[in-house]
Amino acid sequence: MPVARSLTIARVFLRYRLNELVPAEYQPLWLRALWAPYKLLPAGKAKNLTRGERLRCALEDLGPIYVKFGQLLSTRPDLLPPDMVLELNQLQDNVPPFPIDQCIERIEASLGAPVDELFAEFDREPLASASVAQVHGARLKGENGEPGQSVVVKVLRPGIDQVIQQDLQLLRYIARWIERYLPDGPRMRPVEVVEDYRHTIEGELDLVREAANGSELKRNFANSPLLYVPEVYWDYTRENVLVLERIDGIPVTDLEQLRAQNTNMELLAERGVEIFFKQVFEHNFFHADMHPGNIFVSREHPDRPKYIAIDTAIVGSLTREDQYYMARNILAMFRRDYRMVAELHVQSGWVRRDTPINAFESAIRAVCEPIFEKPLGEISFARVLISLFQTAQRFEMEVQPQLVLLQKTLLNIEGLGRQLYPQLDLWKTAHPFLERWMRERIHPKTIVGEIKRYGPEWLEKFPQLPQMAFAALEQGRELGPQLQQLSDQLAGSRQRGRIRYARMIVGGLLAAGAALVASPGLLAQVPAASWIMGAAALALLLWP
């Protein structure tokens, strides 16, 4: 661990009296020794600050990597008290830009040509500068004398990889210390939090991954009236450099501009909620960094406002099982069916199988019932979900990283919606969407779609089924006398076995046939061997 950086962190830690947040009996001797001289000095900056303000100021003094870590902590109200979470929400990721000559050098090294050859115009002054990268305006070269596309060029900071690895090493050390010495350390799982942060920050260090995420999101919302995602220019995109279409939108928090163009604020807020649920449940691919700095509103059609999303470095998705259990949990929760909520947590594997259902149900009711006494329009949907997970953690619910990202995104969306339209009733939009999604999940069209998707693979494997079956029987004979006896019984009823086996194959072929009828273009993908196998199966079925 770098000694100089460790001493810097210790100095900032003591300057803001962060050691006072840790009970003295849990402080190691070296920390108490460092703290002793500071007791004699004036409190300075920390004198009139709350504990949340002290933590925020300390992270800002430590630099951009710690600012980003504080932003991550602000999404974990299950780990920090509300006053500290509220203060960490104010962390800003604005840092001085790095020199333009370093920026140009990085662009030219990545793209293999001088900037003047790559772009018709390139702005030397950055549009924005953050901890990991900075952004410059530019224009591509046009054809036949026509002006080219206006773009933005995002460039990673030089040497940021090494800085991040050093700081991650220090954060791991601090996390282990918290886990070891603080009374609530093990419950807070600081080592896991740092590991989550590592995945997040490393995702932001690969601009090709960010571009791919943006392309997927754009494809999901193609021709949608809800959301627009800028075009990626792949010829100009590398791991360190990303070139995107430049958008012209109003920052979503600029309420004055939005009202000046007579934006339909109620519809804008409702569309934000709809975008969230579409991403999570229909596409299963959601933008997980939808804070106000990454969201704009199109200047076109203010009566039918459309969002614009940028910075797709952090995305999330759920397993099919998590999608299903999350939707059912939300529906059950708002119906006040706390028994179902408790059972779903166990069925999903989020809490242990031996969790006492009655006690868990009672705990959920105690948290949710006071909230639901309010009108639905006054209930914070995101806070209810977080309260639910906090309660589950008392019953040893493991931290679910994918659900943490979901919580963070929902908090951003709901907070943004309430800012745009304070009367927003999120449940009014969420309820019909979830009801419809649950119905469509078991609709025949959905089932046929699954058959169409996997049918060729099933048919391809049909010719191998007899050999696989005989191999399984051979393995069974080696397992012991009981399986040997079963094998003898099967050999004595071979004729009946043939018929049952044939019926199984024909049933599978009929299911796959539904997919073939629904999609004639699929016929060309089915190998001839599969048709031969189907004819043989039919013959077996008719064979007396």
Distance spanning both ends of the chain, measured CA to CA: 78
Residue 525 CB contacts under 8 Å (≥ 6 apart), including other chains: 456
Asked whether the predicted pLDDT for residue 290 surpasses 50, the reply is yes
Pairing of strands 241-245, 249-251: unpaired
For the beta carbon of residue 434, count every other beta carbon within 10 angstroms.
Answer: 19
In this structure, are residues 101 and 203 in contact, taking their beta carbons and an 8 Å threshold? no
Q: Which of 78, 167, 196, 289 is catalytic?
A: 289
CA distances from 174 to 1, 53, 80, 398, 522 (A): 11, 20, 16, 22, 57
Pairing of strands 150-156, 133-140: antiparallel
- pLDDT above 90 covers what percent of the chain? 24
Asked whether the predicted pLDDT for residue 287 surpasses 80, the reply is yes
Please tell me which residue, 472 or 81, carries the higher pLDDT value. 81
Domains, the chain: 3-93+164-203 (no CATH), 94-163+204-246 (3.30.200.20), 249-442 (no CATH), 444-542 (no CATH)
For the beta carbon of residue 199, count every other beta carbon within 10 angstroms.
Answer: 10
Mean pLDDT computed over every residue of the chain: 77
Asked whether the predicted pLDDT for residue 446 surpasses 80, the reply is no
Q: For 76-106, write each residue's pLDDT tens digit.
A: 666 677 788 778 877 766 678 889 999 999 9
Q: What is the mean pLDDT of residues 521-543?
A: 45
Active site residue 206: no
Residue 285 CB contacts under 8 Å (≥ 6 apart), including other chains: 216, 217, 220, 279, 315, 316, 317
Q: What's the predicted TM-score (pTM) here?
A: 0.70
| Cα four-point dihedral sign 536, 538, 543, 544 | positive
Q: For 228-281, write each residue's pLDDT tens digit.
A: 999 999 999 999 999 999 999 999 888 999 999 999 999 999 999 899 999 999
